[in-house]
């Protein structure tokens, strides 16, 4: 019996969330007196698998196939199912990323397992696992216990901090008879340049309608660059066509949990709060002192973003010796 940590990778590199999952799998396994094993799926990924040993996983399974180079729900589900049955898995952990949200539901269906998504806390008491996750747009925390033999759990990125506990990991390649994959990726359009992924960022600077137009968006990106942060946007901004959907934070965008979230000209609609309220520290900048965003902010600045952001950017650059 074991806990499986599905370690998400893209283009031959682990996502930051993979290390969070690996670390939490080790933590749970120690408390539940079972083994924690890693699983890496893809093409030509065996060489990177041992890196998971940094987070305490002694055994790593690798399933490689040219057909698995790009993510496929069908192919990856079969891979996870094979290892889950081989290991008589009790818990399968993965990150609540775009891939993890899709994969976890299919895996749960195939294994007839209970599922909890976007989990923010796990507690073990008397060998029983209690799961906490936000509901009602983050206004309440649901605590639940899954009673099925197998549990599939996706963890919200940036909540579970990776803890290094280096061991020498053994890597075992497993060959499976992969069934035909009906839905295939024909091509991928990749944005060039270095861009910090919102769900993995420690600091995020987001802008809203208070910026008044796309021609002023440099105020957000300048501050983000000063921090070395990711840039996000509210739904209103995305709907207006100022920014692409991939930058949207909120209920219909991405859910983020950075150490610092700076909301610039964002009023704080409930849909936006649902996507960022779990941030450790929230700084709100808005000219409206009654804006809802101030109710959840740790620090608030009532002022004009066109004056505050340049001044703040200047001070951050000064602190960093620029």
**Residue-averaged pLDDT of the chain:** 94
187 pLDDT higher than 80: no
| Domains in the chain: ranges and CATH | 2-173 (3.40.50.620), 198-319 (3.40.50.1220)
pLDDT tens for residues 54-88? 999 999 999 999 999 999 999 999 999 999 999 99
192 pLDDT higher than 70: no
How far is it, in rounded angstroms, from Cα 112 to Cα 152?
Answer: 10
Mean pLDDT of 243-271: 95
The pLDDT assigned to 193 comes to 60
Model confidence at 39, in pLDDT bands (50, 70, 90)?
very high
What distances in angstroms separate CA 192 from CA 196, 241, 243, one per listed residue?
12, 20, 16
136 with 124: CB under 8 angstroms?
no
Kind of pairing, strands 281-286 and 128-135? Answer: unpaired
Residue with tokens 């216990």: 145
How far is it, in rounded angstroms, from Cα 244 to Cα 94?
Answer: 27
67 with 48: CB under 8 angstroms?
no
Model confidence at 274, in pLDDT bands (50, 70, 90)?
very high
Lowest mean pLDDT among 4-8, 181-185, 225-229, 239-243: 181-185
150 with 90: CB under 8 angstroms?
yes
């Amino acid at each position: 019996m074991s806990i499986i940590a599905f370690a998400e990778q893209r283009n031959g590199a682990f996502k930051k969330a993979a290390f969070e999952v690996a670390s939490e799998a080790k933590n749970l396994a120690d408390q539940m007196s079972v083994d924690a094993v890693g699983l890496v799926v893809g093409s030509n990924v065996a060489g990177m698998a041992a890196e998971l040993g940094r987070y305490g996983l002694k055994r790593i399974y690798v399933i490689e196939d040219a057909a698995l180079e790009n993510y496929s729900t069908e192919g990856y589900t079969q891979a996870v199912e094979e290892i889950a049955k081989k290991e008589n898995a009790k818990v399968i952990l993965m990150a609540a990323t775009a891939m993890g949200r899709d994969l976890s539901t299919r895996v749960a269906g195939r294994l007839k397992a209970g599922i909890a998504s976007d989990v923010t806390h796990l507690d073990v008491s008397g060998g029983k696992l209690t799961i906490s996750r936000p509901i009602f747009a983050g206004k309440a925390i649901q605590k639940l216990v899954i009673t099925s033999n197998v549990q599939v759990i996706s963890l919200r990125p940036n909540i579970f901090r990776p803890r290094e506990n280096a061991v020498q990991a053994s890597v075992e390649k497993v060959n499976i008879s992969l069934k035909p994959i009906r839905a295939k990726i024909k091509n991928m359009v990749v944005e060039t340049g270095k861009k910090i992924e919102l769900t993995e960022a420690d600091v995020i600077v987001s802008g809203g309608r208070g910026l008044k137009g796309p021609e002023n968006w440099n105020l957000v990106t300048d501050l983000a660059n000063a921090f070395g942060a990711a840039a996000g946007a509210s739904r209103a901004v995305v709907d207006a066509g100022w920014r692409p959907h991939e930058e949207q934070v909120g209920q219909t965008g991405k859910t983020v949990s950075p150490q610092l979230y700076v909301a610039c000209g964002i009023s704080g609609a409930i849909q936006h709060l649902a996507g960022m309220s779990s941030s450790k520290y929230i700084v709100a900048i808005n000219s409206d002192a009654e804006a809802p965003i101030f109710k959840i902010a740790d620090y608030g600045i009532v002022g004009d973003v066109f004056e505050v952001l340049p001044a703040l950017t200047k001070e951050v650059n000064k602190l960093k010796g620029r």
